[in-house]
Structure 1
Amino acid sequence: MDTDTPRTEPTARSRRSYVGPGSTREPARPQVSAELIAALAARLRPRDTWLLELLHEHRVLTTAQICDLAFTSISAATHRMLTLWRLRAVERFRPSVPAGSAPLHYVLGPAGAAILADRRGMSTAEFGYRPDHAMALASSARLAHLVGSHTLFTSLIAHARAHPGTELKEWWSERRCAAMWGRIVRPDGYGTWRQDGHRVSFFTEYDTGTEPLNRLLAKIGDYTALAEMTGITDTPALFVLPNPTRERHLHAHTHPNLPLVATTTPTALQAAGGPAGPAWQPTQATYRRQRLIDLSALTRTTEVQP
């Protein structure tokens, strides 16, 4: 190599930015075709297919959540998702926010949907995928709620990746929960956490603070009805509340004889090192905050079978 050859920096005109605001030139993406789907199938790794399945089940994930799920850095996650976006396996958007810039949000793309449909022996139409429905989340009023609810689960998966002996065994979406229990209660999610030979199954409720307190108390009543009608008495309902004041008010109005409810806040989650740690305050008694797995000691531990 000739080390004396001067290097020239790329000009602003020649530099390209493919991710983030301020992009000047995006490479043209190919149209969805049998050739593109075949090329995508040849390049998909098992991790990619798993992420596509999660996007199908849970509708939307941010770059940080995808990093928690499957990567060691935001840079690696961004790079791989860029590849999948170029192949139309995923679509992406940045929702508008009052200040600053929101992270990239990813939804299932048409080529990715075709791959998942083929795995099920279905056509894309039979699979039920519609690009306009997927991208409608970009302007949905429920987007922040959906992403916030997902963070609890993706944080547990990130914890399990770093701590042998722990595992998020199940993660059900809001839609799957509604199909199972929707006549009685509609959780934001359902999961099963395993740690050191113990396990606890749980429902989740992600509260943004926009609903009146009476609505939260009514949800607790719905879980009481679920326990009475189905015998599911060993699965706590976990409420993520926006601030300590909201948490204190909920505890003050919750009857101690109701099924187990435990609450947390962003501050408590940060102090506990995430949702696996001692972030959860049961409402039934004056317990100190518990680890998620410790809630299994307060209930019987029979898993809910689909």
Structure 2
Amino acid sequence: MSRRDHNGPGLSPAAGRIQVDAALLARLAARLTERDRWLLRLLHEHRVLTLPQLTQLAFPSPRAARHRMLMLYQHAVLDRFRPSLPIGSAPHHYLLGPAGAAVLSAEQGRDIGYRAEHVAALAHSAKLAHLVGANTVFTTLAAHARHTPGCELERWWSEHRCRQSWHGAVRPDGYGRWRDGGRGIDFFLEYDTGTEPLARVAAKLPSYQRLADSSGITDTAVVFVLPTAARERNLHALLRPGSVVPVATALTAGNPAAAVWLPVGGTTRLPLTALLPSPAPEPW
């Protein structure tokens, strides 16, 4: 999952968006960098990433990210929108564009199923904040790893890939593998925006317990990220100690790479890898 900064050949700036045709795709084949293609694959899986998230993942500064993303947008490699807010302005949200989809389809030798209408649908989706928030947990880990020797986000799967991989037995908002020094941990993410009853949030845990029972794998943690301290306290009142899998919570504002995770039944916040009593074995 780790990425080094990569400064490759640029694309010529354009006043507006360029029409997608064979000539453009031929130019892109020569001019897209390794980093560009890596970001295209991420956007295909994770659907949308904001400019701050893209900066966390792959750029030395917001200015560098803004410059590169603008050129990729102008060349139809990416699409973007900026959701409206009651106060202030949101950052640009980037998605795969038609030229980027064509590049990935050629790379993979199949139609990846890009549809332009999905861009507008996501821009107005009630689930947008939830998706961006869940992605932020992973991009913050990746950013920490970029600047901290010995740390790496080794795996980051989307909700869609999780649903396919576990055949709907569990439906996390993401699955990851995090390594810090000599310790690693696999974890399922449940990202809470405060819009559903806590009883429904707590009711997600038994499916992870059933998966652990049926697979025999009990060392993958289930972590809940919540928007407020009060909601976290109330969830702990519902999540009783004794789960077959490690369970912990953290607040949205915390850095997931730090000691922000409060185990159910515990009183001390721990780093992510400390949620397991010993180094984790091989991942799923």
Please report the TM-score for the alignment, with normalisation by the length of structure 1.
0.85
Residue of structure 2 equivalent to 1:179: 164
CA–CA distance in structure 1, aligned partners of residues 167 and 196 of structure 2: 19
Residue of structure 1 equivalent to 2:102: 114
Larger Rg: 1
Find out whether 1:133 has 2:118 as its counterpart. Answer: yes
CA–CA distance in structure 1, aligned partners of residues 78 and 88 of structure 2: 24
CA–CA distance in structure 2, aligned partners of residues 146 and 302 of structure 1: 29
CA–CA distance in structure 2, aligned partners of residues 217 and 111 of structure 1: 42
User: Secondary structure of 1:91's match?
Assistant: strand
CA–CA distance in structure 1, aligned partners of residues 267 and 221 of structure 2: 15
User: Secondary structure of 2:212's match?
Assistant: helix
CA–CA distance in structure 2, aligned partners of residues 256 and 65 of structure 1: 34
Of 257, 270, 273 in structure 2, the residue corresponding to residue 293 of structure 1 is: 273
Return closer, same or farther for 1:300/1:157 CA change in 2, 3 Å cut-off: closer
1:40-63 alpha-carbon deviations (Å, 9 max, x no partner): 121111011000100001000000
Find out whether 1:264 has 2:264 as its counterpart. Answer: no
CA–CA distance in structure 2, aligned partners of residues 73 and 106 of structure 1: 17
* Structure 2: unaligned runs, 5 residues or longer: 1-13
Residue of structure 2 equivalent to 1:302: 281
CA–CA distance in structure 2, aligned partners of residues 132 and 38 of structure 1: 25
Matches within 5 A, 1:218-297: 218-258=203-243, 259-267=245-253, 269=254, 274-283=255-264, 285-297=265-277
User: Secondary structure of 1:144's match?
Assistant: helix
1:27 deviation in Å? 2.0
1:224 deviation in Å? 1.3
Runs of 4 or more off by more than 3 Å in structure 1?
none
Does the 8 Å CA contact 1:198/1:296 hold for their aligned counterparts?
no
Q: Which amino acid aligns with 1:254?
A: L
Does the 8 Å CA contact 1:59/1:134 hold for their aligned counterparts?
no
User: Secondary structure of 2:39's match?
Assistant: helix
* Structure 1: unaligned runs, 5 residues or longer: 1-25
Find out whether 1:43 has 2:61 as its counterpart. Answer: no
Residue of structure 2 equivalent to 1:149: 134
Does the 8 Å CA contact 1:234/1:300 hold for their aligned counterparts?
no
User: Secondary structure of 1:294's match?
Assistant: helix
Does the 8 Å CA contact 2:183/2:279 hold for their aligned counterparts?
no
CA–CA distance in structure 2, aligned partners of residues 174 and 197 of structure 1: 28
Identify the structure with bigger relative contact order (alpha carbons < 8 Å, sequence gap 6+).
Answer: 2
CA–CA distance in structure 2, aligned partners of residues 238 and 174 of structure 1: 14
1:262-285 alpha-carbon deviations (Å, 9 max, x no partner): 100134x1xxxx1111010000x3
The count of aligned residue pairs is 270
Find out whether 1:215 has 2:200 as its counterpart. Answer: yes
1:82-138 alpha-carbon deviations (Å, 9 max, x no partner): 01001110000001111111110000001001111111122xxx2211111133210
1:183 deviation in Å? 2.7
CA–CA distance in structure 2, aligned partners of residues 235 and 282 of structure 1: 13
Residue of structure 2 equivalent to 1:60: 48
1:197 deviation in Å? 1.5
Does the 8 Å CA contact 2:199/2:238 hold for their aligned counterparts?
no
User: Secondary structure of 2:193's match?
Assistant: coil
RMSD of aligned alpha carbons: 1.4
CA–CA distance in structure 2, aligned partners of residues 216 and 157 of structure 1: 26
1:287 deviation in Å? 3.9
Find out whether 1:32 has 2:20 as its counterpart. Answer: yes
Does the 8 Å CA contact 2:142/2:152 hold for their aligned counterparts?
yes
Q: Which amino acid aligns with 2:71?
A: T
Residue of structure 1 equivalent to 2:179: 194
Percent identical residues: 54
Q: Which amino acid aligns with 2:84?
A: S
Q: Which amino acid aligns with 2:97?
A: G
Does the 8 Å CA contact 1:155/1:275 hold for their aligned counterparts?
yes
Residue of structure 1 equivalent to 2:7: none
